[in-house]
Chain A
Amino acid sequence: MTDSRMLPTHEWMGWDNYFKIFRLRHWKIAVNNLFIFGFLYIVISTLIGLLLAILLDQKIRAEGIIRPIFLYPMALSFIVTGTAWKWFLDPGIGIENIVQLWGWEDFKFDWIKNRSYAIYTVVIAAVWQSSGFVMAMFLAGLRGIDGEIMKAAQIDGASGFRIYKRIIIPMLRPAFLSAFVILAHLSIKAYDLVIALTHGGPGRATELPATFMYSYTFERNQMGLGATSAIIMLVMIFSIIIPYLYSELRSEDQK
């Protein structure tokens, strides 16, 4: 809340920075992107993670090989993920080029260079990185469910799909919650991925609050605005985390 530029000054500015930041187009783009990115990233990762966990739980023979394949992207840094996908999505050498070489000459896939689609490429790469981890969490949850329940439902004549919909998925509530919390907090924090994949561009099309904060604080010497954006991010995260922690700790006390 000070007007710090290069060096911190301690002159009190009241709420000015907060008014200022919400008038900035740059910040609006960043917040808007965060909502698009966060929503798609959380929903798609959860769906893929759940689907893979359920499929892997069907006594699959090669589970020991498949599971590490799904999980290994988690071991990579966002920088490596971002760099790999940057090449992969690049129209000149990546997917577009490959499909064209296969003979489909008109094929176009240049989302990463396209202002209105670039943010979705960030989603693709982020989902690739973390859906395996979500799968591991759901798998842990599924393995914790008593097999007898499934058998009883089968005897009652419920179909596989209905068993999952009515019985298993509701029982995975805790896993959903932890997946949601971890993904939400990853998506608000996402910084390295955007830097490596698109560097906020083309233009400002993939700017997120995290990159906004960094560029205002360290590159544009607008420390006051940077700090303001950091505090807004903190409030956003806490508004997700605190209710979760509260319910967690309370349910633990009741045990």
Chain B
Amino acid sequence: MKLNTLQESNINKSRMSRTLIYIVLFVFAIYYLLPLYVMMINSFKHLDDIRSGGMLNLPSIWTIDPWKSAWSTAQIGIDPSGLKPYLWNSISMVVPAVLISTILGSLNGYVLTKWQFRGHGVVFGLLLLACFIPFQVVLIPMAKILGLLGLAGTTQGLILVHVVYGLGFTTLFFRNYYAAFPTEIVKAAQIDGAGFFRIFWRVLLPSSGPIIVVTVIWQFTNIWNDFLFGASFADFDSIPMTIALNNLVNSSTGVKEYNVHFAGAILAALPTLIVYIVSGRYFVRGLMAGAVKG
């Protein structure tokens, strides 16, 4: 009898604590979703609708004009061009930068784990240190170097900056991943007469799928979202999306078109959001596999 009630109260207790867990998780889910919800909802409202308050309410009249305006006619800086041209700027900067830094990072990781030379630890340590240098510190020297190379203000210049800055991270990811790769296989391939690139191409690369996904996602979001480098080094015709968004939000003289700002913010965030939603599973799994190990 006594045992029974004890068991029952235990079951009740665990049911209660599970409910509590769900409630807490639910509250946090709202906390994380609310800003996105507010942006979404208000980007479909007319300006009067927003001004009359009630940020959380559904629009009384749905409209897609703010989206059209943010995309192609909104005033950014001095041009009424919308965000459209800047999207291309961002893409033509991000894609090459991600590709180059990923390829170089995988080669670095390969050399640092399978072709170790004297002082490889020091080189790796320095690369790691480079990950943590604040952007602000490299701004002035970087501006000078870009000037010397004649790349100041160009998209190529921005690509160079992002490749240099991303190299530390990409190397770190690939090194940790390749460190777990059995060296015997590399040795065996060497004995069979395969050269440096052949081994890399035929042996290591085919099994690096997960880490390539992690690296590409990481680099893509970081470079796409970069603000400081773009703000400092971009010229008139290489301004990326993030800076254009900031200009859009801050430059509207007179009436603040909140609905257009909301739509613009979502447009600027869309590519990274899509990347996260499509491949987020692999990202978390890749993090578990080694990128954040230790």
A residues lining the B interface (CB < 8 Å): 48, 51-52, 55-56, 58, 60, 66-81, 83-85, 87-88, 93-94, 97-98, 101, 128, 132, 136-137, 139-140, 143-144, 174-175, 177-178, 181, 185, 188-189, 191-192, 195-196, 210, 213-214, 217-218, 223, 226-227, 229-231, 233-234, 237-238, 241-242, 245, 248-249, 251-253
A-B CB contact pairs (8 Å), 10 listed: A68-B277, A88-B55, A178-B294, A192-B227, A210-B134, A210-B136, A226-B140, A230-B134, A241-B129, A245-B129
Which residue in B53, B121, B276 is a CB contact (below 8 Å) of A71? B276
B132 beta carbon closer than 8 Å to chain A: yes
CB <8 Å contact, A213 and B287: no
CB <8 Å contact, A69 and B33: yes
Tell me the smallest distance from the CB of B23 to a CB of chain A, in Å.
Answer: 10
Given known contacts A87-B258, A137-B287, A143-B288, is B225 in contact with A93 (CB within 8 Å)?
no
B31 beta carbon closer than 8 Å to chain A: yes
CB <8 Å contact, A75 and B38: no
CB <8 Å contact, A128 and B35: yes
B185 beta carbon closer than 8 Å to chain A: no
**Residues of chain A contacted by B29 (CB below 8 angstroms):** 66, 69-70
B91 beta carbon closer than 8 Å to chain A: no
List residues of B (92-150) whose CB comes within 8 Å of A's CBs.
121, 124-125, 128-129, 132-137, 139-140
Given known contacts A189-B135, A192-B227, is B265 in contact with A80 (CB within 8 Å)?
yes
**Residues of chain B contacted by A139 (CB below 8 angstroms):** 284, 288
CB <8 Å contact, A93 and B261: no
Which residue in B53, B269, B287 is a CB contact (below 8 Å) of A77? B269
Total A-B contacts with CB atoms under 8 angstroms apart: 188
A229 to B134, CA, bound (A): 12
Number of B residues, CB within 8 Å of A: 64
**Residues of chain A contacted by B56 (CB below 8 angstroms):** 98
**Residues of chain B contacted by A76 (CB below 8 angstroms):** 225, 269, 272-273
A242 to B125, CA, bound (A): 9
**Residues of chain A contacted by B136 (CB below 8 angstroms):** 189, 191, 210, 213-214, 229-230, 233
Which label, helix, strand, loop or mixed, suits the secondary structure of the B interface?
Answer: helix
Binary contact readout B24-51 vs A (1 if CB under 8 angstroms, 0 otherwise): 1100110111111011001000000011
Given known contacts A71-B276, A132-B32, is B288 in contact with A77 (CB within 8 Å)?
no
CB <8 Å contact, A68 and B280: yes
CB <8 Å contact, A78 and B225: yes
Stretch of B195-203, B204-212, B242-250 with 4 or more beta carbons under 8 angstroms from chain A: B242-250
Nearest 5 Cβ contacts at the A-B interface: A77-B225, A192-B227, A75-B276, A140-B288, A84-B35
A44 to B227, CA, bound (A): 25
B254 beta carbon closer than 8 Å to chain A: no
CB <8 Å contact, B128 and A223: no
Tell me the smallest distance from the CB of B121 to a CB of chain A, in Å.
Answer: 7
Which residue in A97, A210, A231 is a CB contact (below 8 Å) of B53? A97
A218 to B284, CA, bound (A): 38
Given known contacts A76-B273, A78-B227, A88-B35, is B287 in contact with A140 (CB within 8 Å)?
yes
List residues of B (274-294) whose CB comes within 8 Å of A's CBs.
275-277, 280, 284, 287-288, 292-294
B224 beta carbon closer than 8 Å to chain A: yes
Which residue in B31, B133, B276 is a CB contact (below 8 Å) of A68? B276
**Residues of chain B contacted by A226 (CB below 8 angstroms):** 140
**Residues of chain B contacted by A98 (CB below 8 angstroms):** 53-56
**Residues of chain B contacted by A85 (CB below 8 angstroms):** 35
Tell me the smallest distance from the CB of B39 to a CB of chain A, in Å.
Answer: 6
CB <8 Å contact, B25 and A188: no
A47 to B284, CA, bound (A): 20
B232 beta carbon closer than 8 Å to chain A: yes
CB <8 Å contact, A195 and B137: no
Nearest B-chain residue to A132, judged by Cβ: B32
CB <8 Å contact, B269 and A55: no
A233 to B275, CA, bound (A): 33
A141 to B207, CA, bound (A): 24
